[in-house]
Chains A and B, each alone.
Chain A
Amino acid sequence: MKKVIFLNGSPKRKRAVSEKFLKIAEDCLEGQIRGEKLYIYESEFSDGFFESIYEADAVVMALPLYIDCLPARVLEFMTESKEYLKNRELRRPELYFIINCGFLEYSQNDTAIKIIEKYAEKTGFDYRGGISIGSGAMILQSRKKEALEKVLQEMAQEVKAFYDTEEMQETTVRKINVDMPRFLFKAKADKLWVEAGAKKGLDKKALKAKYY
Chain B
Amino acid sequence: MDKIKTIIISDAHDMEGRLVEKGLQDIFSKAEVTLFNCSDLKIEYCIGCFSCRYKTPGKCIHNDGMVDILPHLVASDVIVLLTRMEYGCYSPLIKRMLDRTITFETPFLRTVNGETHLEPRYPKKRKLLTVAYDENIDSEEAVIFTHLTKRNAVNFDAEWRRPVFINEGEDIEKKLRRAYGDLLK
Measured CB to CB, the residues of A under 8 A from B are: 10-12, 16, 41, 64, 66-73, 75-76, 78-79, 103-105, 107-108, 110-111, 114-115, 118-119, 122, 182, 185-186, 189-190, 193, 196-197, 200, 202, 204, 206-212
Contacts and interface: CB of A to CB of B under 8 A. Distances in A.
Nearest to B123: A210
B89 A115 contact: yes
Nearest to B50: A196
Interface in B94-135: 95-96, 98-99, 101-103, 106-109, 111, 115-117, 119, 121-122
A186 B98 CA distance: 24
Contact of A186 (B116, B121, B122): B116
Contacts of B42: none
Interface string B144-159: 1001100110010000
7 contacts: A41-B47, A64-B48, A78-B87, A115-B89, A115-B144, A186-B109, A200-B54
Nearest to B146: A111
B95 A67 contact: yes
Chain B CB within 10 A, most for which of A190, A197, A206, A208: A208
Given A68-B155, A211-B59, A108 B148 contact: no
Contacts of B106: 207-208
Given A11-B48, A202-B57, A208-B108, A105 B116 contact: yes
B89 to A, nearest CB: 5
Given A73-B92, A118-B144, 9 more contacts: A11-B45, A67-B95, A68-B148, A70-B95, A75-B87, A76-B92, A108-B151, A207-B108, A211-B59
A16 B47 CA distance: 11
B163 interface: no
Given A79-B91, A103-B116, A210 B122 contact: yes
A78 B115 contact: no
A210 B121 CA distance: 6
B111 A182 contact: yes
A111 to B, nearest CB: 5
Given A11-B46, A212-B122, A115 B87 contact: yes
Contacts of B91: 75, 79
B70 interface: yes
Contacts of A197: 54, 57
A122 B109 contact: no
B48 A193 contact: no
A202 B95 contact: no
A208 B90 contact: no
Contact of B99 (A16, A66, A78, A204): A66
Contacts of A104: 115-116
B74 interface: yes
